Amino acid sequence: MVKIAQFRKFGPAADMIELVERPDLPPPDGDQLLVKMLVMSINPADILTIEGDYGIKPELPNIPGAEGVGRVIEIGPAVKKLAVGDLVLPLGGGAWRENMMCRENTVIPLPKGIDIDQAAMIKANPATAEVMLTSMVTLEKGDWIIQNASNSAVGRFVIKLAKRKKLNVIAVVRRDNVIEMLKADGADVILVADEKTDPGKLGMEMRLHTGGALPKLALDAVGGYASNQLAKCLADGGHIVNYGLLSDEPCEVDPFDLVFRRIELKGFWLADWFKTATRDDILSMYGELIPLVTEGLISGAIEAKYSLDNVKQAVAHAAKPHRSGKILLTEPNISGGE
């Protein structure tokens, strides 16, 4: 028997998630791989999916888990490039389980020696940051970008990856106790703003720090009032890319900026990018990220690790506000907790 985490109906995540046992998976056939999951991350999207508040509602029962890292334990006869013992990053969902079956072209090979905790967090947040920085607008060395929710997991990866691309980063946050952390990440300018901050005044304050330079790209994880704040900071013709709705409000942008300054507002969802990206696109993108993770040049913060056996406690912890890092699940029977 193998253990899986699943939910049968939508509702409070820690209440809905359950650990069950299913019969062992059959031996892999064709180009299939049997993968033992070693570490799995818990993302906000996983919590929202269980609660029924994400962009899609899966069929029930459902095994959550957008990302994790595993080790190949059996291979089918048609597998060409992978072997038993290899570490892999499965690209499909449903990662919160003891073992999973994958096809060879739906995993990303990982190098020996990579930190498996960090590898378990590569798929979503670093990838979101990388794709938004490289596919939304054409940026050149020395250009400026601005983002809100800069102390979030994606926000911190944006800063680290942007600095490696020689871009200048303006980080907008709601509280000043994260300023030193973001300076250490490499942010060039840090502005504190909330829903009471006047968008025009924020733009003026930003110009004082940039010497008048204006960003071409704004990354918006908040929506609502915050979209308008970013719009007032952008150069004419600039782009706002919204990828989150932390305010739980529709994006607001002054029509003046949309019409007369040609500001463009668009949405981004990594799942949609995967639908249109080629295998080469995906390998190229992760080919940029994996060496940086392997060498310790980019990393995500971890607050706690729990065995899959304790998935209810892990999900409850992940749903708490103001965490300092990601909550990870490990393979069953591995001790872990707060």
Which positions are catalytic? Answer: 54
- Compute the distance between CA of residue 336 and CA of residue 306 in angstroms, rounded to an integer: 4
Closest CA to 173 of 136, 134, 221: 221
CB-based contact 315:47 (threshold 8 Å): yes
- Compute the distance between CA of residue 160 and CA of residue 152 in angstroms, rounded to an integer: 12
Closest CA to 110 of 121, 101, 95: 121
The H or E element spanning position 33 is strand 32-42
Distances (CA, A) of 299 to 125, 147, 235: 10, 19, 31
Q: Mapping DSSP to helix (H, G, I), strand (E, B) and coil, where does residue 7 land? A: strand
- Compute the distance between CA of residue 123 and CA of residue 120 in angstroms, rounded to an integer: 7
Measured in residues, the chain has a length of 338
CB-based contact 166:152 (threshold 8 Å): no
Helices (H) and strands (E) in the chain, counts: 12, 15
Q: Which tokens belong to 210?
A: 């940039």
Q: Which tokens belong to 63?
A: 């095994």
CB-based contact 41:122 (threshold 8 Å): no
